[in-house]
């Protein structure tokens, strides 16, 4: 039998221990319960992100160009995974994964959240669910789909696996299209299955829809024709842009070669580039109308002024300028019609360098178009203070200046709108655009009349004629500059507008390095222009301003070739 004092001591010790446990319990459960709460949450609760639905991109009539469709992604919490070897083998087969690699990822407890496979079709996700593997869950995501595929790829760009814009419109309008992800808290059972949604911590904010200025039908037409032109003339590449001459809206923009943005295998960098905006080239003779317009505005010439074209050879500062078709003299209108380099040079040299530069600058050369497309190249217009006379002369016919194709098309709005340069946009506009006045209406109309002569027999682009419509435009055939020297590779181009009596559309075509027997702008680019312009005007129900038998087929003697 124990002494009485020992039993009393033992009783006191038990009371102290019990009191300590009670105090600790009160402290943890009532006063400082953060630790246990965190451990419980980690074991039985989880905060899951809720992806926001990305906004739709449509053409001007609401036709979808880019849409996000719901898909399922498979994720795991390795601490909760309980799977037999047979289940792992079945899961690997469904997900097209290596079984050993899958097992390694499922046992990697250093991570709380691991994606196994993303953006699966519903039927594949359903097969995963039927396996009933603890710790394997589904997450709703969205995959971007482009109905037009390669037809609109360079303009739209694409998104990554997280639905964030990577190129083109998808990148430039990411803030508007992307929205904001939300989150909610869930409770899991001991096998890792989600059994209850506890609370919505933050509701997702859906992305906004965007309506582009694009006309889907005209876009398809432009893409088809530029592809055909490139393949027919065995060219390196080609680009085309269609502008609403009055509003400045881009109705079509296409390149070939192209790529399919629905294919997640990323193509080469060069194939991703929207060459209409990101690539610069010397525009060649498509610059001559701006030279003539500047001199007309200053009163240096009139359309009837006779220029001594020196039988096709003119020396400036010891350098010779040549015409493909030598003439003793030409009127200013004929300089445009027959694309005389000598005539354009002499007209440019009538002006002070500052006057010529100022006119080109007001036409938008040397500056971005303002369309805010990612990676747009601004072009190059050198400071007039550094010009030599030969540089001023050659700039008159598009050498020593660089442009992108949209910039060149935009510049032609000055001739379509009685001397007013219109802003360009890739987004649908509800009202008329307001531009800046560059030339008087008299000057702009005079140049437009000259540009009409270009597409008639005796000009450089009779193949640009369009049935039922008067056309005004200009060809360009420029040697490419490589290593500081011009080589026998060409950029063939044509920019034109119709109906010439009241222009509705401007179409610019550029063919890079045609390698067939034909390489002049009037042979290579003008036919593509004619096909696109004619079909687009009919689609838009633009009234005819010429009889339906207006097209005059040129004879070989009527076809004037040019080269700079």
- Active centre residues (catalytic): 285
Determine which helix (DSSP H) or strand (DSSP E) holds 320, and give its type and residue range: strand 319-322
Find where tokens 């609109």 sit.
Answer: 152
| Distance of alpha carbon 323 from alpha carbon 342, whole angstroms | 6
Structure tokens at 527: 């036919």
Closest CA to 156 of 424, 378, 374, 425: 374
Q: Which DSSP state fits 205?
A: B
| Distance of alpha carbon 64 from alpha carbon 104, whole angstroms | 42
- For the chain, the 3-state helix, strand and coil shares in percent, each to the nearest 5, are 40, 25, 35
Find where tokens 């949209």 sit.
Answer: 406
Number of separate helices (H) and strands (E) present in the chain: 21, 19
Find where tokens 């309008």 sit.
Answer: 173
Q: Which 3 state secondary structure label does DSSP give 380?
A: strand
| Distance of alpha carbon 143 from alpha carbon 71, whole angstroms | 6
Q: Is 278 exposed, middle or buried (0-12, 13-18, 19+ CB in 10 A)?
A: middle
Residue 381: C-alpha distances to residues 144, 285, 341, 439, 525 (Å): 40, 16, 19, 19, 25
Q: Is 162 left (phi over 0), alpha (psi -120 to 50) or beta?
A: alpha
Q: Provide the angle, in degrees to the nearest 10, between the axes of the packed helices 99-106 and 85-95.
A: 110
Question: Cβ(210)–Cβ(176) under 8 Å?
Answer: yes
Q: Is 177 exposed, middle or buried (0-12, 13-18, 19+ CB in 10 A)?
A: buried
Find where tokens 């943890």 sit.
Answer: 28
Q: Which DSSP state fits 540?
A: T
């Amino acid at each position: 039998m124990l002494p009485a004092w020992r039993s009393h001591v033992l009783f006191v010790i038990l009371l102290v221990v019990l009191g300590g446990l009670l105090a600790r319990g009160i402290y943890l459960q009532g006063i400082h319960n953060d630790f246990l709460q965190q451990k419980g949450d980690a074991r039985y609760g989880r905060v899951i992100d809720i992806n926001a639905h990305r906004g739709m991109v449509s053409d001007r009539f609401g036709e979808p160009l880019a849409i996000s469709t719901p898909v399922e992604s498979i994720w795991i919490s390795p601490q909760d995974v309980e799977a037999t070897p047979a289940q792992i083998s079945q899961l690997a087969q469904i997900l097209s994964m290596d079984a050993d690699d899958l097992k390694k990822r499922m046992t990697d407890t250093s991570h709380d959240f691991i994606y196994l496979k993303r953006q699966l079709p519903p039927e594949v996700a359903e097969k995963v669910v039927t396996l009933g593997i603890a710790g394997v869950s589904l997450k709703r995501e969205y995959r971007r789909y482009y109905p037009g595929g390669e037809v609109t790829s360079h303009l739209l760009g694409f998104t990554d696996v997280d639905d964030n814009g990577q190129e083109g419109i998808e990148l430039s309008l990411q803030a508007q299209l992307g929205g904001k992800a939300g989150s909610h808290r869930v409770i899991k059972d001991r096998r890792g299955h989600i059994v209850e949604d506890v609370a919505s911590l933050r509701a997702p904010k859906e992305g906004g829809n965007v309506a582009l200025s694009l006309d889907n039908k005209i876009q398809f037409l432009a893409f088809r024709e530029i592809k055909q032109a490139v393949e027919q003339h065995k060219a390196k590449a080609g680009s085309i842009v269609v502008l609403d001459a009055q509003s400045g809206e881009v109705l079509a923009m296409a390149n070939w070669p192209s790529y399919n943005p629905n294919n997640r295998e990323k193509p080469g960098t060069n194939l991703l580039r929207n060459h209409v905006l990101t690539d610069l080239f010397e525009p060649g003779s498509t610059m001559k109308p701006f030279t003539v317009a500047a001199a007309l505005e200053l009163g240096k010439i009139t359309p009837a002024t006779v220029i001594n074209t020196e039988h096709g050879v003119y020396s400036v500062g010891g350098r010779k300028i040549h015409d493909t078709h030598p003439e003793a003299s030409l009127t200013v209108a004929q300089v445009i019609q027959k694309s005389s380099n000598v005539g354009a040079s002499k007209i440019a040299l009538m002006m002070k360098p500052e006057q010529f530069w100022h006119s080109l600058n007001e036409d938008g050369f040397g500056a971005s178009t303002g369309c805010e497309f990612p990676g747009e190249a601004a072009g190059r217009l050198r400071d007039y203070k550094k010009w030599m006379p030969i540089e001023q002369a050659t700039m008159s016919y598009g050498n020593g200046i660089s442009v992108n194709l949209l910039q060149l098309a935009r510049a032609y709005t000055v001739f379509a709108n009685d001397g007013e340069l219109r802003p360009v946009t890739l987004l649908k506009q509800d009202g008329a655009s307001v531009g800046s006045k560059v030339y008087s209406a008299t000057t702009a109309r005079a140049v437009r009349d000259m540009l009409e002569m270009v597409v008639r027999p005796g000009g450089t682009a009779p193949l640009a004629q369009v049935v039922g419509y008067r056309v005004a435009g200009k060809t360009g055939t420029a040697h490419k500059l490589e290593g500081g020297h011009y080589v026998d590779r060409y950029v063939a181009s044509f920019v034109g507008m119709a109906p010439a009596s009241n222009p509705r559309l401007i179409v610019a075509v550029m063919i890079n390095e045609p390698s067939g027997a034909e390489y002049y702008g009037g042979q290579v680019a003008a036919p593509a222009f004619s096909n696109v312009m004619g079909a687009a005007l009919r689609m838009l129900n633009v009234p005819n301003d010429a009889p339906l038998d207006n097209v005059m087929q040129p004879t070989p003697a009527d076809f004037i070739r040019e080269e700079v």
